[in-house]
Amino acid sequence: MADVTVIEVGPRDGLQNEKRIVPTDDKLALIALLRAARLPRLEITAFVSPKWVPQMADHEAVLRGTPPADGLIRSVLVPNERGAQAALAIGVEELAVFTSASETFARKNINCSISDSIGRFAPVAELARRNGVRLRGYVSCTVECPYEGPIAPQAAEDVAIALFELGCVEVSLADTIGRATPSGVDAMLTAVTARLPSARLACHFHDTFGHALNNIDIALAHGIGIFDSAVGGLGGCPYAPGAAGNLSTLPLVRHLENRGLSTGIDMARLKDAETFAARLRS
C-alpha cells in the first residue's frame, strides 16, 4: 500500500484552465498514459455548461471513453444536480463539488455566496449517497484570495466542516493562486486539523511562486497524505499570467519518494505522460 495518494487533476483542472481547447482524442490519450503510470485516482472532466467552460464541452465523450477499472477512481466535477445526474447516468466513482473560503471569490467564480453554494450541493450529495459513489469537496482560496488577500484560517475550517456535514468523504484544501507561504499553510492546517481528521483531508497547491513543495512538507507534518497535482503542470494561474499554475505531478512524486514515501506510481510511465502533456499546453 502506498504511503501517500497522488490525485491527478490534469485532465480536468489542468486542461480546463488552458486557453487551447484540446481534442477529445488527445484527452483520452493523456488519460490512458496516466492510467498506465498507475495513478489510482483521476479527475477526468467537469460536467459544466459548454457556454462557460468550452474546454470541457466533451465531458460525456471523455467519461464514456474512460471505462472503469479495478483500483481506479474516476472523479468528475459537477456544479449542480443536473451535472451530477448526467455523470451518474454514464457511471463514475466520485463526484466533486467546488466552493471557496473567500466570499468574494465564490461570488465571482460560482456566482453565489458560500452558503448558497453549500445549499446547491445538497441534492448532489443525496444523489451520491443513493448511488453509492464518493463525494469530494474542494475549498479554494484557503490561505490567500486574489480579491481579499489573506484568508482567516477559521474561514477555511468553517467551509471544510460544512462540506463534511454535507456528506463529503474527503475535502481538498486549495491554494488557488499559489501565494500561500509555509507559515500560512501551517496556520490554516493547524485550524482545520484541530476539528477534522487529517486522513480525510487533501491539499491542492499551485506552484505559481515556487512554494508548492515546501507547502507539501508542511502538510505532511500535519498528517496529510493526499495531494492533488496536474501532469506537466497543466493549468496556468489566471491571476499570474505566464506563471506556473498547478503543481506538476512528476516533481511531486519525485519529492515524496525522495523523502522515503511510496506512491505506487510508475515513474517511467509518468515521464511519458508528462512528455505528452507538454504538447497540449496553450
Q: What is the 3-state secondary structure (H, E, C) of 212-254?
A: HHHHHHHHHHCCCCEEEEEHHHCCCCCCCCCCCCECEHHHHHH
Which residue stretches of 141-238 are H helix?
Answer: 153-166, 182-193, 212-221
Pairing of strands 201-205, 226-229: parallel
User: Are the C-beta atoms of residues 202 and 13 closer than 8 Å to each other?
Assistant: no
SS3 label, residue 37? coil
Which cell is 19 given? Answer: 486557453
Positive or negative, the CA dihedral 157, 159, 161, 167 is: negative
SS3 label, residue 67? coil
Angstrom distance (rounded) from CA 124 to CA 225: 26
Termini Cα distance of the chain:
36
DSSP-derived secondary structure letter, 55 = G
SS3 label, residue 186? helix
Angstrom distance (rounded) from CA 179 to CA 86: 35
237 is catalytic: yes
- One of 141, 145, 168, 237 is an active-site residue; which one? 237
Which cell is 266 given? Answer: 510508475
User: Are the C-beta atoms of residues 196 and 160 closer than 8 Å to each other?
Assistant: yes
According to DSSP, the residues that pair with 45 across neighbouring strands are 76
Q: What residues act catalytically?
A: 237
